[in-house]
């Protein structure tokens, strides 16, 4: 038996999904690392432990194809070939061309376009009552990442549907229906990306798919497809969920963004994290906060818990739009630090500023509707109106 506190916390329970933070506080008070009986892995609850998990090179992302292999091949194909599920040297090889494409200025050149798209979406909204997720927070980053990559805007609805289907597989114990939907989505998504790659090889454009299709000579076609799908999924999931979670936190407290909107964005990222759990596997004996993991044992960085650690954040349970410094772990640390962090921060700052500049005071007009998921936490509907 592990010589650490043991917990049977049900991460699928409605109570935990609705508000995990009181449960995290209780577990964190018992130890920075706890043993989770249902999943048979350790949970890094404290900021220090979660940071160590993400920085330690001998705790890696080790992908194992899901079974049955033949049926789940479309889903497995997109994951075994992506950077997030690999460690150096493969991770480095997969990440380098994507980082190079981002560094060529694709992100910052999009800022005026983000403002334009935000204004267009807001023009179509009834300020007296509207779903800020479905009518604004969701379409904006999907349109932006599609434009960055070079995916026609006619596919934006499909991109969101495919992404939602795929990421539901990351939750504990997905149902048979969730698995079926993820397999179909992965296949359709990959087919579209392969067609776009072929097109960009004959007709290059100023977009990221062209960069990867024509300049990433170290990548196979399967790896280019997986990289594009990862960017499309991760490139909007964080923005949508952080925006929704953070806006609800603002409005429930009758707050507005601070004059320094960037500080508000960082607090949105910290206070109600979009990504709650990030799993790693020991590749050799390694110690985390006094707990020894043997090769093959798993430990998850509990991002939401770490971001509420009172040893790091003064008044950790309060939403403070002027908090500074704010060393949250929402984008990760170490080799898996999120490449899209600059894009997400820019989108969140621009969209939050545009929303409040257009409508002034806003308030919730109905109970926000949760996505009902734990690992990727967010809302699928938040009804608001001008007050």
**Catalytic residue list:** 234, 237, 239, 338, 347
Structure-token match 């798209």, residue found? 117
Nearest Cα neighbor of 374 from 13, 6, 29 is: 13
Contact 267, 327 (CB under 8 A): no
Kindly tell me the sign of the dihedral angle through the C-alpha atoms of 230, 232, 233, 234.
Answer: positive
Q: Which stretches within the chain are classed as H helix?
A: 14-18, 21-30, 47-55, 69-80, 90-101, 111-123, 139-149, 156-167, 176-202, 208-215, 221-252, 261-271, 303-306, 341-359
Structure-token match 């196979």, residue found? 220
Encode 97-112: b = buried (16+ Cβ within 10 Å), e = exposed: bbeebbeeebbeebee
* Pairwise CA distance, residues 333 & 313, whole Å: 17
Q: Is 384 helix (H, G, I), strand (E, B) or coil?
A: strand
C-alpha distances out from residue 158 to 117, 226, 233, 287, Å: 19, 17, 12, 44
């Amino acid at each position: 038996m592990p010589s650490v506190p043991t917990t049977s916390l049900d991460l699928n329970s409605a109570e935990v999904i609705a508000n995990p933070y009181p449960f995290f506080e209780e577990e964190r008070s018992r130890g920075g690392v706890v043993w989770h009986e249902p999943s048979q892995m350790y949970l890094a609850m404290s900021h220090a432990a979660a940071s160590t998990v993400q920085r330690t090179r001998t705790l890696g992302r080790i992908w194992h194809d899901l079974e049955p292999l033949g049926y789940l091949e479309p889903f497995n194909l997109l994951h075994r070939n992506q950077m997030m599920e690999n460690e150096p040297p493969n991770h480095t090889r997969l990440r380098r061309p994507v980082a190079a494409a981002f560094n060529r200025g694709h992100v910052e050149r999009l800022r005026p376009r983000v403002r334009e798209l935000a204004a267009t979406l807001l023009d179509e909204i009834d300020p007296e009552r509207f779903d800020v997720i479905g009518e604004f927070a969701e379409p904006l980053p999907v349109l932006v990442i599609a434009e960055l990559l070079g995916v026609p805007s006619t596919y934006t609805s499909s991109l969101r549907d495919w992404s939602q289907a795929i990421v539901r597989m990351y939750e504990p114990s997905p149902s048979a229906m969730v698995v079926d939907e993820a397999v179909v989505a992965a296949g359709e998504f990959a087919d579209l990306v392969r067609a776009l790659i072929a097109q960009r090889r004959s007709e290059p454009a100023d977009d990221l798919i062209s960069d990867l299709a024509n300049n990433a000579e170290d990548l196979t076609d399967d790896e280019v497809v997986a990289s594009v799908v990862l960017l499309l999924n991760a490139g909007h999931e964080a923005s949508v969920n952080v925006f929704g979670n953070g806006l609800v936190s603002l409005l429930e407290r009758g707050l507005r963004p601070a004059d320094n909107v960037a500080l508000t964005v960082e607090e949105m990222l910290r206070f109600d994290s979009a990504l709650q759990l990030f799993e790693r596997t020991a590749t050799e004996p390694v110690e985390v906060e006094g707990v020894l993991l043997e090769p093959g044992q798993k430990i998850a960085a509990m991002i939401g818990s770490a971001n509420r650690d009172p040893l790091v954040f003064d008044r950790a349970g309060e939403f403070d739009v002027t908090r500074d410094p704010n060393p949250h772990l929402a984008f990760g640390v170490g080799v898996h630090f999120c490449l899209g962090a600059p894009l997400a921060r820019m989108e969140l700052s621009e969209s939050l500023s545009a929303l409040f500049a257009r409508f002034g005071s806003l308030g919730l007009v109905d109970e926000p509707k949760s996505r009902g998921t734990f690992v990727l936490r967010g809302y699928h509907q938040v009804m608001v109106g001008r007050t």
